Structure 1
Amino acid sequence: MSELPPGCPEGLTDFLDRAGWRAAEIDTIPGDASFRRYFRVRDGDRKAMLMHAPPPHEDPQPFLDVAGWLTSHGLRAPGIFSSEAEAGWVLLEDFGDDRMRDWLDVNPGGETGAYAAAIDALVELRTMPPGPFSPYDLATYQRETALLTEWYAPAAGLDVDVAGYETAWFAVLGPLIERQQPGVTVLRDYHAENIMLLPGGQQGLIDFQDALVGHPAYDVVSLLQDARREVSPELERAMLDRYIAATDAGPDFEADYARLGAQRNAKIVGIFTRLYKRDGKPRYLEMIPRVWEAMERDLAHPALAPVAAWFDANIPRALREAGGGTIS
């Protein structure tokens, strides 16, 4: 084994030895918003990704469970070479470097085709029975929307009506719960940074460990109202039309898309604020204005009237139009 990069977690070489990769060379890959760390592993002609998801902050077992389910249903999750979930180690297939977002930065003319393929994957996912995962229930939706009042509001210096916020979301989200039965597998973080473009036109899926069973509109929103990459309203409309045309979406689908768009965007504003305030990661602040912009479009839908009224009463429109204002 070559010299290890600085800061490698204890036990890394022992795990690779047990996995049969004793002589591998190891390179660190920049991390994401979690406690997980990734390493690229090479041993001759073999290559793999090493994920360290250390307890108690992380548990790789859900990733392994969802990967197995996706693979068994014909979707392209990474293959698993070896794992020791109790210690946080997973050695998995290396999907390469062509993330959809990075590829589009170099190949902007391929945007429509790439998004169409991503939408078609969600159409395919909708034809499958829901996986054996927990439900995306009203309590979970409410807990996520609360991140905005818990983290963003105080950081922006706002004294808001928390009880009224909860009541407004209950009124807005309640109607869609029955419509998401029996539900579909919701990957929850399905966007251009978590889709890998593979040889032969396949799209590889990553970062799906938080999958739940919920509403089919959720992942469509996640893809088309992407906090990390600009998706024009025109492309959003075209891809939403593509999904609706390919499925029996139902008359309430667009209203539920707006409901879940606002719900997800409120959650993201809270999460990105928390990443800055609690975890010292200021780079997420620059993404918040894009999230507010998408949320304003969602709030304009009549189905969001109670939540829109709360925002008008508690977060000045000028502040929202300025991307949420200054967070300190």
Structure 2
Amino acid sequence: MTAPTAAAEFLTQNGWQNARITPVAGDASFRRYFRVRSDDRQAILMDAPPPHEDPRPFIAIAEYLTGAGFAAPEIFARDLDQGLVLLEDFGDQRMREYLDDHPEAEDGIYRRVIDLLRELHKAPAASVPPYDEAQYLREANLLTEWYCPAQQLEVDAQGFEAIWQQILAPVLAAQNPPVTVMRDYHAENIMLLEDGRLGLLDFQDALIGHPAYDLVSMLQDARRDVPDVLEEDMLAYYLSDHDRDAAEQFRSHYAILGAQRNSKIIGIFTRLCMRDGKERYLDFLPRMWRLLEKDLRHPALAPVAQWFDRNIPDAVRNRPMQVTKANK
């Protein structure tokens, strides 16, 4: 992975002339990241090339988060026409890898990420669009638009959307007042900083919505197995200041948003394979089906569970996807 052609001039203009540029791991988008070193300084160069990417939402949410007292990367320089952003380097100590090496720290670190969410949910919400019904439906429908055709299934897509409209109604009603939802709050987007804070990444798609969304994103992590016992302990920890009725309602919404999110991710990971040739994302599908099926056992999701039983039987969910040139 080579740096964009405009990178050297951009860095020179911002006082980082002759800096060494090396690639770092990216994500599932068109964005790319590079570590920039000059003398005893280092930073991260984000390459978010238009028209595929727009770095302005990232910058806006980073400034919102830092203004609210959270650790988001400081923005050192920007060139919006080129899609280049120079930002604070949070290092390499991700929550994901740290817990792989230090499983005994799991409970304590998950409590810290839950505490961060509690504080975020107390803060004034960001000035971003709402997580409305149309957005939830677009995301859930990714399953019928991508996964089902890839598995050569003819399903009742209209019925799927209609059921979700019904199921999501109480969630939407509970989003008042809304909280900031980062939408990709999971172990690969949390950095363990040297000063003891939790560094936040990958929040450019933030919306305002239900407090259960980021909680389920963390505790039903698409890329890391979270033990069921730990998930329950952390959910109970988050709900420790809720009364019984409020906690029961929240758990219902948590399961609904878990099923919605996991349906979406199954669709997205299938799309990344079929459209973009990123076949490694299929390795995550067994975990996603396990999480989705767990959510579907909640009574609030009975109509959705029945749709899955009629349209995507167990034998299909458990079979490897056949990746061929024809369906690519």
TM-score above 0.5? yes
Match of 2:64 in 1: 69
Mean CA deviation greater in 246-255 or 6-15: 246-255
1: CA distance, partners of 2:106 / 2:272: 29
The question of 1:14 aligning with 2:9 is answered yes
Identity of aligned residues (%): 57
Match of 1:225 in 2: 220
Summarize the Cα distance change of 1:52–1:212 in structure 2 as closer, same or farther, 3 Å threshold.
same
Match of 2:326 in 1: none
Contact 1:273–1:285 (Cα < 8 Å) also in 2:
yes
Match of 2:136 in 1: 141
Task: Give the TM-score normalised by the residue count of structure 1.
Answer: 0.96
The question of 1:80 aligning with 2:112 is answered no
Matched pairs, number: 321
2: CA distance, partners of 1:9 / 1:129: 37
Other structure's SS at 1:193 match: helix
Match of 2:87 in 1: 92
2: CA distance, partners of 1:113 / 1:200: 16
Contact 1:152–1:327 (Cα < 8 Å) also in 2:
no
Contact 2:35–2:42 (Cα < 8 Å) also in 1:
yes
Q: Which amino acid is 2:308 matched to?
A: F
The question of 1:267 aligning with 2:246 is answered no
**Which residues of structure 2 form unaligned runs of 5+?**
324-328
Match of 2:283 in 1: 286
Match of 2:126 in 1: 131
**Which residues of structure 1 form unaligned runs of 5+?**
1-5
Q: Which amino acid is 2:206 matched to?
A: A
Contact 2:186–2:217 (Cα < 8 Å) also in 1:
yes
1: CA distance, partners of 2:272 / 2:55: 21
Per-residue deviation, residues 70-109 of structure 1 (Å, max 9, x unmatched)? 0000011001111112320100000000010011111111
Q: How does 1:89-168 map to 2 (within 5 A)?
A: 89-168=84-163
The question of 1:184 aligning with 2:197 is answered no
Aligned Cα root-mean-square deviation (Å) = 1.2
Cα distance, 1:8 vs structure 2? 2.1
The question of 1:257 aligning with 2:215 is answered no
2: CA distance, partners of 1:196 / 1:82: 21
Cα distance, 1:157 vs structure 2? 1.4
Per-residue deviation, residues 119-161 of structure 1 (Å, max 9, x unmatched)? 1100111111111010000000000001000000010111100
Mean CA deviation greater in 235-244 or 19-28: 19-28
Per-residue deviation, residues 251-310 of structure 1 (Å, max 9, x unmatched)? 410000000000000000000000000000011100111011011010000111111111
Q: Which amino acid is 2:29 matched to?
A: S
Cα distance, 1:246 vs structure 2? 4.0
Cα distance, 1:327 vs structure 2? 4.0
Q: Which amino acid is 1:213 matched to?
A: I
Other structure's SS at 2:231 match: helix
Cα distance, 1:247 vs structure 2? 5.2
Cα distance, 1:250 vs structure 2? 4.5
Match of 1:31 in 2: 26
Mean CA deviation greater in 7-16 or 280-289: 7-16
1: CA distance, partners of 2:171 / 2:225: 27
